[in-house]
Amino acid sequence: MLEQLCGFNGESMKRIYLDHASSMPVDPRVFEFAKPYLLENFGNPSSLHSIGLKAKDALEESRAKIASFINAEKENCIVFTGSATEANNLGIRGTALRNISQGKTVVASAIEHMSVLNPMKDLQKNGFTFNTIPVDSTGIVDLEKLESLITKDTVVTSIMYANNEIGTIEPIKKISKIVHEKGIYLHVDATAAVGRIPINVQEGEIDLLTLSSNDLYGPKGAGALYIKPGLKLQSVIPGGGQERGLRSGTENIFAIVGMGEAARIAQQEMDQESKRLKVVRDKLIEEILKIDEAYLTGHPIERLPHHASFRFSYIEGESILLNMDMYNIQVATGSACSHKTLEPSHVLLAIGLKHEEAHGSMAMTLGRSNTIKEVPTIVKAVRETVQRLRKLSPLYNK
Amino acid sequence: MAEGYSKKVMEHFLNPKNVGVIENPDGYGKVGNPVCGDQMEIYIKVKNDVITDIKFKTFGCGSAIATSSMVTELAKGKHVDEAMKLTRNDVADELDGLPPQKMHCSNLAADALHEAIKDYKSKKK
């Protein structure tokens, strides 16, 4: 069946890329805007000569664009890093270590990204207490548990704006209220949410916020941490003192300039684009849920507009991913086989799925290249993939 | 290709050989479980100690399916004592190798075959 459909790897078929949560192409406008900073404007922003100053200007212009994008109080609230992972590390370690006198407990939801959970586990090895907050079956943080598990001894709590694997959007304002009533700092990883839904750090009363460039159609190699005015952090990368001394290392000007421009474009186009993608997403979900024993993972309403995630009984996610790739459709999975640890996704386990259920997961994240016209092709590929793998599966007896 | 699968692994994943079940098999082997993410079942038909027919069903990742398919190909037509000697490395080698973290999957395919042969031998007694 499949060999008739396509060649060995389906390259003859039009590519339908549905893994934007993993990686996004750079917007050509962003590339054109940032390109001179790889070539003629190659200066080091720390140099005082004209070439250095040009780079410094570009760096500060980009900082201003990011600040405006998330409504930061001041431009210097933004600290550029090399990735969202690094921003998460700086936000959590930097806050915990600098404000140790306020307490030695760190708190995160059970569905945070590894770049939040692992720095906290690391702090735990160094004498901190680490508490995780459970989520319900849709991925929403348990607010009562949050209230009871953060104590006077807590220094920083980290809750993501939205989850990358199941698309659930957390009630950040409610969370912020609970955390702030106890006088604790709130770090929010907005990597999955940025560019999809509006983020306003002042309105959301957020102390620290992580952003990534690539999730805005900017180049990889740049991330940013918003730090509320007055909040003190310890550097996690000491060195030459760049970025307020919090993140040393010569700035990746190309990626940072690209990130700023990508944020400016997102600020203008996001509302319309998210509305467009939501229509595509809703149609995808509606059609895929018609497949026997297909289930939505994550929240049915409070979810990112570009995010559709599922699980299918009796089959395994890596097989789904590989099989979909044969149709030249790229998806993601939280199955164990796709992870270096050979453990299924901690997110899917946290929402209460059994191991065997978590193995059969598939996530689709839409982007600018996707259109409503692609939906029938995608749905047909999913249907055939599920059917083929179930035919192979000893667990399926229908 | 994802996880660095060889072309041969992908061929067996896409067009697996000997898929299915055998009614009243002479031997049946089952290894793994859905919790771990891999489960394989192998059915054999044996005549004069030679495997004349073999079928499998597998729940699992790409290499789990490919190794199941490969082990059935390797075992078909073999004397049960010869088939018993097939190892996970034999299966992986025939597939032009597997990514290191996947070696446990091919282990399962050979194990399922061995279980089926043991089942056959125990019935024979």
B57 vs A9, A323, A392: nearest CB: A392
Which pLDDT tens digit goes with each residue over A363-388?
Answer: 999 999 999 999 999 999 999 999 99
Which among B33, B35, B61 is the top mutation candidate for probing chain A, defined by the most A β-carbons within 10 Å of its own β-carbon? B61
Mutation pick from B59, B98, B106 vs chain A, by most beta carbons of A within 10 Å, is B59
Name every chain A residue with its beta carbon within 8 A of the beta carbon of B42. Answer: none
pLDDT at A357 over 60: yes
Nearest CA in chain B to A326: B14
Residues found in chain A: 398
β-strands A154-158, A105-109 pairing: parallel
Annotated catalytic residue: which of B1, B14, B21, B36? B36
In order, the DSSP letters of B82-104 are HHHT--HHHHHHHTT---GGGHH
- Digit-by-digit pLDDT tens for chain B (125 residues) are 345 899 999 999 999 999 999 999 999 999 998 888 899 999 999 999 999 999 999 999 999 999 999 999 999 999 999 999 999 999 999 999 998 888 876 578 999 999 999 999 999 87
The residue among A3, A359, A398 with the most chain B CBs within 10 A of its CB, best to mutate, is: A359
Range of the structural domain that residue B59 is part of: 2-124
Tokens linked to A371? 């259109």
pTM of the model: 0.94
Put simply, the answer to whether A359 touches B37 (Cβ < 8 Å) is yes
- When mean pLDDT is compared across A148-152, A226-230, A250-254, A390-394, the lowest value belongs to A148-152
Give per-residue burial for A225-255: e unless 16+ CB within 10 Å, then b: bbbbeebebbbbbeeeebbeebbeeebbbbb
Q: What is the DSSP string of A323-355?
A: HHHTTTEE-B---GGGSTTS---HHHHHTT--H
Report DSSP letters for B13-76, one per residue: HHS-SSBS--SS-SEEEEEEETTTTEEEEEEEEEETTEEEEEEEEEES-HHHHHHHHHHHHHHT
Residues of chain A neighbouring B37 (CB-CB closer than 8 A):
316, 335-337, 344, 355-356, 359
Place of tokens 């955390």: A179
Which residues of B touch chain A, with CB atoms under 8 Å apart? Answer: 1-3, 5, 7, 10-11, 13-16, 19, 30, 34-41, 57-65, 101-102, 105
Give the distance from residue B41's alpha carbon to the nearest chain A alpha carbon, in angstroms.
7
To the nearest whole percent, how much of chain A has pLDDT over 70?
95
- pLDDT at residue number B73: 97
- Three-class SS state of A184: coil
To the nearest whole Å, the CA of A393 is away from the closest chain B CA by 5
Q: Is B61 designated active site?
A: no
Q: Do B61 and A314 touch (CB under 8 A)?
A: no
Whole-number Å distance between alpha carbons of A364 and A368: 13
User: Would you call B59 and A8 a contact, using CB atoms and an 8 Å cutoff?
Assistant: no
User: In sequence order, what are the residues at sequence separation of 6 or more whose Cβ sits closer than 8 angstroms to the Cβ of residue A174?
Assistant: A143
Q: Give me the pLDDT at residue A195, please.
A: 96
Q: Is B15 in Cβ contact with A3 (below 8 Å)?
A: yes
SS3 A84: helix
Nearest C-alpha of chain A: how many angstroms from B20? 7
Q: Nearest CA of chain B to the CA of A364: how many Å?
A: 17
Q: What is the number of structural domains in chain B?
A: 1
Within 8 A of B19 by CB-CB distance, chain A residues are: 391-392
- Nearest residue in A to B103, CA atom: A337
The pLDDT mean for chain A works out to 95
The answer to whether the CB of A180 falls within 8 A of the CB of A205 is: yes
pLDDT band at A397 (very low <50, low <70, confident <90, very high): confident
Domain annotation for chain A: domains and CATH numbers = 2-26+270-392 (3.90.1150.10), 28-266 (3.40.640.10)
pLDDT at residue number A398 = 78
How many Cβ atoms from other residues are within 10 Å of residue A20's Cβ?
25
Question: How many angstroms separate the most distant Cα atoms in chain B?
Answer: 47
For residue A209, how many other CB atoms are within 10 A of its CB?
29
What CATH code is carried by the domain that includes residue B25?
3.90.1010.10
The string of DSSP letters for A257-285 reads HHHHHHHHHHHHHHHHHHHHHHHHHHHHH
